[in-house]
Amino acid sequence: MKKFLIVVFSLLSGFVFTSCGGDDPVADSTDFSGTETPDTPNDDPDNPGIQTGKILIVYFSRTGYNYPNQWLDIGHTARVAGYIADLTGGDRFEILPVVPYPDNYQETVAIAREEYDNDARPAIQNKIENLDDYDTVFIGNPIWHGTAPMIIRTFYESYDLAGKVLIPFSTHAGSGLGDSERLARNYYPDNTVLSGLAVQGTDSFNAHDDVEAWLERIGIIE
């Protein structure tokens, strides 16, 4: 019964959305999402954690000039994805857009806003060939204008993730998880969607311990 209640609580936990900009573009403080919900800890001592099976870490990240005025050779989200891979032994897949975003920060701000306003689906240049091999999929992204970049919607609409455990994570400049959890739940309402992690982008360099603690709380590692 304890295990059943924990799964139900995880599925029904609230959504994590705030109103500021994101890890990359921060053109304004328009709220496109909602309100934030904290991580759901796995406190049942009789439950050693969910059965994760084989793990894939999917992420979209951006290099170049970033908020506030910082050059990144490795994007904040890519850095967090690396911590998750190191701690779980999971494989990584980086979502690469057909048309890369510019290094110039303000140009990316404008493009991201235009994509959102037009409900765009930016094309992805690479493909996951063996998705059926994985049981658990982390999905990571920066938060742009309070929401996941539109290319994350492209990803969800390009693959069948039914039956997989989905775990969102984000990097941001004040918007937390944005709508990352809501997207996962909306696209796959019957899947188990575990509580995500939001990392302040400028803190990504020192977030290893926070990532480890989160993975322990949600039962991915012990």
For the chain, the structural domain boundaries read: 15-40+51-217
Residues 78-89 have pLDDT tens digits of 999 999 999 999
Pairing of strands 197-200, 64-66: unpaired
pLDDT at 10 over 80: no
Indicate if the pLDDT at residue 76 is higher than 60. Answer: yes
pLDDT at residue 50, as a whole number:
66
pLDDT tens digits, residue range 42-59?
Answer: 333 333 456 789 999 999
**Domain 15-40+51-217, CATH class in plain words:** alpha beta
Give the pLDDT mean for 76-101.
98
User: What would the pLDDT profile of 166-196 be if each residue is shown by its tens digit?
Assistant: 999 999 999 999 999 999 999 999 999 999 9
One-letter-per-residue 3-state SS of 36-51: CCCCCCCCCCCCCCCC
Write b or e for each residue in 207-216: b if 16 or more Cβ atoms lie within 10 A of its Cβ, otherwise e: bbebbeebbe
Looking at residue 193, what is its pLDDT? 98
